[in-house]
Amino acid sequence: MGSARMTRALVVPFLTLFAGCAAPATQVILLGTGTPNADPDRSGPAVAVVVNETPYLVDCGPGIVRRAAAANRNGVTGLDAPNLKRVFITHLHSDHTLGLPDLIFTPWVLGRDTPLEIYGPPGTSEMAEHLVAAYRQDIRIRIDGLEPANPNGYQVNVHEIEPGIVYRDDNVIVKAFPVRHGSWKHAFGYRFETADRTIVISGDTAPCQSLIDHAEGCDILIHEVYSAKAFKERPPEWQRYHAAFHTSTKELAEIATQVRPGLLVLTHQLFWGKTEADLLAEVRESYDGPVVSGRDLDKY
């Protein structure tokens, strides 16, 4: 059976971006905007940045492959299952990774014939190795049984990353930067630079300077958030937790005022009885830029 193969992603010198290249059409699709709460309208956290019909996934919450199939059916070419070949994981919380076995195996069953490339924090290799081992009976039956199956598509190449440039190709440069997510020693946000847009995805984070530094002037900032007003009614132990791990509407308004993104997109929304309109109103109390509350399959 195949197993995870880990490499250390290196920080390489920054080069002139895509000199002489025609600008690609970069699309951003929210595949999942949920939290650990089992909201049937919101799949687990996942974003697709699609450049020249090539998808780059960030996080893999529950439902990611089916959400990608829905986006593909809605006209986002490139998100068909065999084309899901690379994912960038922000941190190893279960709500951001429960879709990883789905992303490893379902596209393989549907025809992917190359290993899944996984970029993530230390610990990602161990997770991937155990997942592949857990499905060894499924792998054996598909390869050695009557079902036509290739021997490569279920395998994974894991790149445990450090801050800096972690990936580049003809479409995109991807930079990882550290964020402050409570007790996690390693948690990252990602900055995607294409020929026509810059997209920053916060992952889960409390306010931190590194995000501000990497998001300044970006075209799209996709940022997690919770209701500052509902927070006041939460039990003290949960207030301690959320203040250390996440970002309130008031804090996000302050961040966006410094960053000035072309568009601020709220995701991983913790409503606690509030509505999308309530969260937007809270942000707009002290931020006057363009802002929307993201929903699954929204496209920008």
pLDDT at 25: 87
Domains of the chain: 5-9+25-293 (3.60.15.10)
Whole-number percent of the chain with pLDDT over 70: 92
For residue 58, what is the DSSP state?
E
Q: Is 80 annotated as catalytic?
A: no
- Are 254 and 209 within 8 A, CB to CB? no
pLDDT band at 12 (very low <50, low <70, confident <90, very high): very low
Q: State residue 5 phi and psi, 5-degree precision.
A: -115, 120
List pLDDT tens digits, range 198-239: 999 999 999 999 999 999 999 999 999 999 999 999 999 999
Nearest to 58 by CA among 27, 25, 94, 97: 97
- Are 49 and 55 within 8 A, CB to CB? yes
* 45 Cβ contact partners less than 8 Å away, ≥ 6 residues apart: 32, 33, 34, 35, 59, 61, 95, 96, 204, 267, 268
Q: State residue 131 phi and psi, 5-degree precision.
A: -65, -45
* Orientation angle between helical segments 100-109 and 64-73, nearest 10 degrees: 50
pLDDT at 24: 53
Please give the helix or strand (H or E) that residue 284 lies within, else none: helix 276-284
Exposed, middle or buried, 168 (CB in 10 Å: 0-12/13-18/19+)? middle
List pLDDT tens digits, range 103-113: 999 999 999 99
Q: Give the max Cα distance, the chain.
A: 62
> Residue 292 is encoded by which pair of tokens?
């929307």
Exposed, middle or buried, 258 (CB in 10 Å: 0-12/13-18/19+)? exposed
Q: Which of 80, 95, 204, 296 does the annotation list as catalytic?
A: 95
Strands 46-51 vs 26-32: parallel, antiparallel or unpaired: antiparallel
> Residue 142 is encoded by which pair of tokens?
């598909």
SS (H, E, C) 149-188: CCCCCCCEEEEECCCEEEEECCCCEEEEEECECCCCCCCE
Other C-beta atoms lying within 10 Å of the C-beta of residue 236: 7
Nearest to 123 by CA among 175, 185, 61: 185
pLDDT at 153: 97
d(CA 109, CA 102): 10
pLDDT band at 240 (very low <50, low <70, confident <90, very high): very high
Task: Report which residue type is found at 258.
Answer: Q
Region 37-62 average pLDDT? 97
Other C-beta atoms lying within 10 Å of the C-beta of residue 167: 19
Please give the helix or strand (H or E) that residue 101 lies within, else none: helix 100-109
- Are 208 and 192 within 8 A, CB to CB? no
For residue 75, what is the DSSP state?
T
d(CA 43, CA 268): 10
